[in-house]
Chain A
Amino acid sequence: MTDDSHRFTTMYDECRQRVWAYVVSQAGRQVADEVVSETFAIAWRRFDDVPDPALPWLLGVARNVLRDNIRAEIRRESLAAELRAWTEEDHADWVAERLAVVNALASLTQEERELLILVAWQGLSPRDAARVIGCSPAAFRVRLHRARKRLVQAMKTAPVARIQSRVRNLSEEWS
C-alpha cells in the first residue's frame, strides 16, 4: 500500500488547494474544510476509480459532498458570508472594476456562478468543467454562453459608482 499512499499524498498536495477554492466559491469558508476532508476520504476509498488528471473528478465528488452532507440552510448562510467577503476584502484595493465583476457574479444564480467559476477561476476546460457538473460538453457550452451573457448584463446594469456606494453601505451594515 506504500506506493498508493505516496500517490495519494501527491494527488492531495496537487489538488487540495484547488478543491478547497472551489468549495469556498460555492459555499464559503465555514464549511470548506469539512467538505474537503470528506472529499479526500472518498477519494481514498475509491482510489482505484480516480482518473488522471484527478482534479475534475475530485471537484465532482466535492460537489456531491457539499450537496449531501451540508444542510442547505448552513450552505446558504456560509455562502452569503463568503460573497460579502469578496467585496469587502482588500480595502486598500477596492478597484471599481473588480467590484463590478464580483457584484455581478454574486447577483447570478448558483448554477450560472458555478459554470463561470469553474472556467475562469479554476481554469478548467469546458470538457473538464462539464465532467464536474455531470453534463455533456455540448450542453456545458450552451449553458456557459448563457451565463456569460448574464454576467455581462449584470455588469452593465450595476454601474460602478452605485456599486461602490452599495459596498460602503454594506460594510457599515455589517461592521
Chain B
Amino acid sequence: MNPMEQLRKARPAHLDTPVDEGTRAAELNYAMAQFRQAKPARARKIAKPVWGLGLAGVAAATAVAVGVTATGGTTPAPSAPAVAAPQGEQQPAVKLSAKQVLLVAAESSLKAKAGSGAYWHIVTSSGNAQQVGTKVQYTVNSLGRSETWIARSPKVDSWWVSQNLGTKPAPGSEAAWKQDGSPTTWTVKVAKRGGGKLLIDSKGGKPFGNPINVGDKIADLAGTNVSFAELQTLPTTAAALKARLMQGYAGHGTESDEPQDADAWLFQVTSGVLSDMPVKPAVRAAAYKVLAGLDGVRSLGEVTDALGRKGQGIGRAESWPNGQYERQLIIDPETGLLLTDQIVAVHAGGQWAGAKPGTVVNYNAITKAEWTNNKPVKP
C-alpha cells in the first residue's frame, strides 16, 4: 500500500473532537474583542451570503425601525433600502450599526404583551473573573445563579435567591490551570488596607435567599428606591425616560463615589431597566431608544454569550480606576430581549490585572424574565 495512504488511515480519531460550545463562544468573543487593523481601501471578496435565514427577519425589521414602509412583507431584500447596497457583483451584505440594532430591539419590544401575573420572575446566570495562579497566571470564573421574584402587590414580599455554583478555569485557561497543578482552591489578594486575602473554592454552595422589598419599594432605579406602581408610570418616550433617569445622576457611580460620566452612567442605569425591571413594553422600547441616542456605542455584530446563545452585540468603552473596559449588551433583536450584560477587559488593571484583552471579567446572562403566578421557591 502507498505509505501516504497508510498514514492517512492511521489518523487518530480524537483529532476530530468537535469544539464545545463554551470554548467556541469564548474563542469568538476573545478574537472579536481585538482591535482590527483596518485597511479600508481594499475591497474584500465575500465568500458566503452574510445573513442566515433567521436574520432575514432582522433586516426586515430594520427597514421598519428606520421608517421605511414594509407592509407585512417578510421578504427583506426588496423592502430594505436602509441596508447597505450590494457592492459590485458581491452578495448583498447587511450592515447593522449599533443604533440600528437598538432601534430594531425597541421595535420588537413593542410586540410583547403587557404582562399579568403575581410576580415578575427573573433567572440569571453570572460569572465573575478572578486572576489567579502561582506558577502561571490565568483566569478563573466564579459562577452563580440567581432568581428574583418581584411582587406586583405592595402587600406581598419580593424575593431574591442566589446560589454559588463554584469556580472553574475560564474558557482558554484550562491549560494554564493544569500547568499550575490543577488546584481546587485559590488565594487572591484583595484591595484592602493592609493587604487582604480571599480564598476561592472550586466547590459551590447551597442556595440562600431573603425578601428584598423595603415596604412597597422593590427596586433601585437610578439611585432611588421605587415601588412596582412607580415603575408602571415611567415615561414611554426616549426623551422623557432619559430626563426621568437623569434626575438620579449626581456625577458618580450608582454603587460608589467614584466619578462617572453621564453617558456611562445612563448606559448602565438604562441597561438595568432592560435586564431586571418589570416595566411596560413601551418603556422597554423607550429604554432601547435612549441607548440608541448615546454616543460612543459600537456594534459588535453577532456574538455568542457565555451560555452559547447568539445575539447582536453592542458595546461602549468605559474607563474605570482599575483599567479600560467595554460594557457589552447582547440583545436578541427579534424579541427585544436583553440576553447578557457583560464587562470585557480592554486594558485591565486592579483585581483583573493580567486578564487578556477580550476576557469577559463579569457577566450576567438572563435566562428567564417572565410573569408568573407561582410563588417564590424559598431555600
Contact = CB atoms under 8 A, between A and B. Distances in A.
A2 B299 contact: yes
A17 B4 CA distance: 22
Contacts of A5: 32, 300-303
A52 B16 CA distance: 23
A36 B26 CA distance: 11
A5 B13 CA distance: 31
B8 A43 contact: no
Interface in A1-44: 1-12, 16-17, 20-21, 24-25, 30-31, 33-34, 36-37, 40-44
A85 interface: yes
Contacts of B10: 97-98, 101-102, 105
Interface in B278-323: 298-303, 312
A152 interface: yes
A44 B32 contact: yes
Contacts of A98: 9-10
Nearest to A12: B28
Q: Tell me if A's interface is mostly helix, strand, loop or mixed.
A: helix
Nearest to A10: B48
A17 B36 contact: no
A45 B35 contact: yes
Interface string B8-41: 1111111111110001101110111011111100
A41 B34 CA distance: 6
Contacts of B13: 89-90
A90 to B, nearest CB: 7
B42 interface: yes
B45 A120 contact: no
B304 to A, nearest CB: 8
A135 interface: no
B302 A9 contact: yes
Given A33-B23, A151-B7, A121 B34 contact: no
B174 A33 contact: yes
Nearest to B84: A3
A41 B31 CA distance: 4
Contacts of B15: 21, 24-25, 121
Contacts of A33: 23, 172, 174-175
Given A44-B36, A47-B36, A85-B12, A119 B50 contact: no
A41 B26 CA distance: 11
A116 interface: yes
A36 B303 CA distance: 18
Interface stretch (B88-96, B159-167, B251-259, B263-271): B88-96
B358 interface: yes
A148 B5 CA distance: 11
Interface in A66-105: 74, 85-86, 89-90, 97-98, 101-102, 105
Interface in A131-175: 148, 151-152, 155
Contacts of A151: 3, 7
Contacts of B31: 8, 12, 37, 40-41, 43-44
26 contacts: A2-B50, A3-B50, A4-B36, A5-B300, A5-B302, A6-B301, A10-B47, A20-B19, A33-B23, A36-B27, A37-B27, A37-B30, A37-B31, A40-B30, A41-B30, A41-B31, A41-B358, A44-B34, A45-B37, A48-B38, A48-B39, A52-B47, A89-B14, A101-B7, A121-B7, A151-B7
Interface of B: 3-4, 6-19, 23-24, 26-28, 30-32, 34-39, 42, 44-48, 50-51, 93-96, 172, 174-176, 178-179, 298-303, 312, 358
Given A45-B36, A48-B44, 5 more contacts: A12-B31, A44-B34, A86-B12, A102-B10, A105-B10
